[in-house]
Structure 1
Amino acid sequence: MRDIELKEFEWYFRDIIFRYYNEKGAEFEENMLVDIMQTHLRYKHVDKSYIEELIRHVIPNLSIIVRADNKIIIDDVLERYQCKDCLYLSYIASREELRCSRCNSTNINKFVFRRRDEVQR
């Protein structure tokens, strides 16, 4: 398994957590992780055993996840940041270093989503 694959999978995993489970104390069964990841278009048709393997590699590296009694508990909330150098979006917890996931730059700001009609011309 390549580092690039793992890094990409971690980004998608953080994206799912941010969008749907980003609440401290949120919990779900560990065996639901594969189904959760298959909701993402990128992994919709990927074999479940391969996703399980990716999860086994990525989960230990995430500081926001706590395992307890076959459950996954979200221990911290994620914030979305955008790198000023490469414009990449990163999902970073409050206790993690503010660093771009792609280029490792520390030149990042909190990402503010603006609807199209709110953007000034």
Structure 2
Amino acid sequence: MLTKPRLYGLVMALAAASYGLLAYFYHNANGSISAQVCPINRVAGIPCPSCGTARSIVFIMEGNLYGAMMTNPLGFLAALLLIALPVWVALDFVRKRESLYRSYLKTEAWLIRRKWVAALLVVLILANWIWNITKGL
């Protein structure tokens, strides 16, 4: 379990790093984001479950939803989280609340009590990973 400062710091640090990478990819890579960014792909020679997520988000930014879905459906979730979570942290900071932290704790407890949901999520991620490998991402 993360503490509130760690959760909020992690959210903001990951969002900032992601925005920086996306800005670089969007403006400099001309849509050809290399798989060599992924350490798993570099070492093992196979894509990880999240390979193609940045490319998928760039497709979303360009309005190419089909391209985003075919590259990696996780891009839609990542794009939503990259928009919602930093705003949520900022609102909590301004309002002096901890609604994101409380939601995180409730979600974590809910998943611990419902292990089948966590197992289903793992199966979906594994299916996405297999799809990434078979399509040669």
TM-score by length of 2: 0.27
| Higher RCO, Cα 8 Å, sep 6+ | 2
TM-score by length of 1: 0.29
Structure with the higher helix share, 1 or 2: 2
Structure with the higher strand share, 1 or 2: 1
